[in-house]
Structures are given as structure tokens and as C-alpha cells.
Structure 1
Amino acid sequence: MITPALPVPPDDSTTAWALAARGGDTEAVERFVRALHRDVRRYVTSLGADPQSADDLTQDTFLRALSALHRFEGRSSARTWLLAIARRAVIDSFRYAATRPRLSDIDDWQSVAEHAQPEGLPGFDDGVALADLLAGLSTERREAFVLTQVLGLSYAEVAVLSNCPVGTVRSRVARARACLIAWLHEAEHPVPADTAV
């Protein structure tokens, strides 16, 4: 049984598309997926998914969302709802991976993976540096920072996703910013070895 949807704010077209897709509009399904595909992929990557599994997790997220679309009532934005599904997909993949042995027939798999990465692309080094800096943050701070500062979600939406108060989200973002700024400053102004205590 499909329950009636709540009114959709006029500026939230993705929610409108999700509700239309729920009603069977195939064009709305396509628009919904296209509008949020990049955000979902960036989010699952920020949660620690490697580039290959990020594509699979993004696809898994949309498959889960489309199969559960009949339950979406528009109480939150479709973006928030979809990112919550993405979060569960990543957690499920980590749980599944933890129960499976990791096999590799290459002794030095890390150097092989590093040499396989593309180089010379515009912004590639900056992206690697940002990924390294973000990886140094705690999971909670990284998630809050990426959702608010990279994906542009409101603090209230992130609080719903993270199941914590808005103040906690604000604190996590502020602390993540402070850490990132300090780390960038250290990288740009290294302390000489002879003056270090």
C-alpha cells in the first residue's frame, strides 16, 4: 500500500523526482539517479570505500533505494534518505568483507596498486592530498565534514543521517576543519630537523 506523501518543498527537485518515481514515472527515476549519483559515489568513497568498490556500492545503494521507493514518504529530503541507504550499504560491505579472507597472489600488492593509479590528471595531486588528510580524521569527523562541506548537506540533515544532535555535527565539522588547517600549515611550513626538540 502506498501512503500519501508529505508536501514537497519547491526547491527540492530530487525529492519531487523520488515521489514521482514512486508513482511509476520512469523519467523521474532517471532524473533522480542522475541528480544524486555523484553525491552517493563521493559519500561512499569518503566512508572508506576503495575506488573499485565505490562504484559497486553506489550501484547497490540505488538498487536498494529503488526497491524501497514505495516506502519513501518525503518526510526528509530524498538526498538525505538516499545517503542513509548508502551509509548502510557501506557498513554492510565492511561487515561482509570482515568475514571473508583477503587473498592476493602478488607479494607486493601495495606497490602494484600505487603504480596503477593515474597520474598527471588536473587536480590529481590535490585530490590525493585531500584524501590523505581526510583519512587522518576520525570516522565521525570525516563523515560530518564530507557531508556538510563537500556534499553540501545541512547540519540538520547530517544529524539525522548520523543519529546524533546537530550540535555534535557542528562540533565534529569544526574540529575536522581545525585539524585539516593545522595539518596543511605543518605541510607548508615544516619544522627543520635541527630546530625540532
Structure 2
Amino acid sequence: MIIPALPSSPDESITAWALAARAGDPEAVEHFVRALHRDVRRYVTYLGGDPQAADDLTQDTFLRALGSLHRFEGRSSARTWLLSIARRAVIDSLRHAAARPRLSDTDDWQSAAERAQPRGLPGFDDGVVLADLLATLPEERREAFVLTQLLGLPYAEAALLTGCPVGTVRSRVARARIALMERLREAERPALAGAAA
């Protein structure tokens, strides 16, 4: 009997769970979903730009993935494979929303949405600031930054996921960092000027 080698990295473990889930192991399905749920949710939140839809997009991503798990062969990491499914789910959602705009019973929909947000949670304000800063970036730079800096994907996997060269991903991330730092400095200037007065 040959004993398989133990995975040496978290991505290898996740890929092993995906392959075991493909073979019908329900425990492996649970490990696979738990290991990547947070990454998928963060990715669809930033890519879609709609925190309200993030849970639905995350669920849609996993439903699509589990439905097509039989086609996953492990040629790429399961994380990369799943995030590419998440990307398609967001694109499909945006297309659907553009084709069928939703009606609101209030004229001031933005205020209504802001009032519905939970307040006072630890890190809430930091998350809002980060989301606002990321929203100012061009889409390609935001996606590269989120994949590599927030989700921790290697540049090569982010390049594979976005369909562009590794150098382009590196450039987008570098430019995103510069832009974010400039915007942070701009935001801090009025606060520093007020404190000095």
C-alpha cells in the first residue's frame, strides 16, 4: 500500500480536499468550503463593490464550484480555480443587474442603505475606509491588489486568474499601493492641519 505524501502548504491541502470532495468525500467538501469561504467572500465583496450582495455571490460561487467539482483535475490550485468561478459569478451578477435594474420605493436609496448597515462593530470604520479607498482605484488595479494583498494569492496565480502577465499584475499592485498611499496622505492633511491649529 502506497501512503500519499502529506501536503506541505495550505494551498496543497485545499487542493487535496477538493480532489477528495470530487471523489465523494463529504468531510472533504466541508473542509474545502471552510478553508476558502472567507477568501471568496472578500474577493466578491471587493470585485463586485456591493457588500450587500457578497453573501449571495459567495453562496453562488460555492454552488457553481460544487456542481462542477467533477471537472476539477487539480492542474491549478483549488483556490485559483474557485476564485476564477467567483470572478465569473460576479461578472454574471453585474450583467444581470445591468439588464434588470431594481426599483426602490424610496428616492434616497443611498441613505436607506447606509442606515441599514451595522454600526459599532470592531474594525467597521477601518473596513469602510478601506472599501472607500479601494473603490477609487481603477478596476484592474483594485482586483490585482485585492487578490495579492488582501487574499494573499501569489502574483503568478493572480496573473493566471486575471488572464494577464505576472509583470502586469506586479505593476498594477505597485500603482495601486502608490495611489492608496497618496489618498491616505490627502485624507490625513486636513486632520493634521486641524490638530496643529
With structure 2 as the length reference, what TM-score do the two structures score? Answer: 0.90
Aligned match of 2:82 = 82
Q: Hey, what's the Cα distance between the residues in 1 that align with 2:6 and 2:77?
A: 9
Structure holding more helix per residue: 2
* More displaced 10-residue stretch of structure 1: 172-181 or 92-101: 92-101
Give ranges in structure 1 of 5+ residues lacking alignment: 1-6, 193-197
Shift of the 67–8 alpha-carbon distance from structure 1 to 2, 3 Å rule, reads: farther
Aligned match of 2:73 = 73
Native 8 Å contact 1:49 1:90 kept in 2:
no
Residue type at the aligned position of 1:80? T
Deviation at 1:189?
A: 1.5
Q: Does 1:26 align with 2:26?
A: yes
Deviation at 1:8?
A: 9.0
Q: Hey, what's the Cα distance between the residues in 1 that align with 2:51 and 2:119?
A: 15
Deviation at 1:101?
A: 2.6
Q: Hey, what's the Cα distance between the residues in 2 that align with 1:173 and 1:9?
A: 29
Deviation at 1:109?
A: 1.4
Give ranges in structure 2 of 5+ residues lacking alignment: none
Aligned match of 2:40 = 40
Aligned match of 1:147 = 147
Native 8 Å contact 1:8 1:16 kept in 2:
no
Deviation at 1:121?
A: 1.4
Q: Hey, what's the Cα distance between the residues in 2 that align with 1:188 and 1:49?
A: 24
Cα deviations across residues 14-53 of structure 1 (Å, max 9, x unaligned)?
0000000011100000000010001000000011242231
Structure 1 stretches of 4+ with a deviation exceeding 6 A read: none
Aligned match of 1:4 = none
Shift of the 8–138 alpha-carbon distance from structure 1 to 2, 3 Å rule, reads: farther
Number of residue pairs aligned between Structure 1 and Structure 2: 186
* More displaced 10-residue stretch of structure 1: 112-121 or 180-189: 112-121
Task: Using the aligned pairs only, state the percent identity.
Answer: 78
Q: Does 1:10 align with 2:2?
A: no
Shift of the 123–152 alpha-carbon distance from structure 1 to 2, 3 Å rule, reads: same
Native 8 Å contact 2:140 2:172 kept in 1:
yes
Native 8 Å contact 1:8 1:74 kept in 2:
no
Residue type at the aligned position of 1:137? L
RMSD (CA atoms)? 1.6
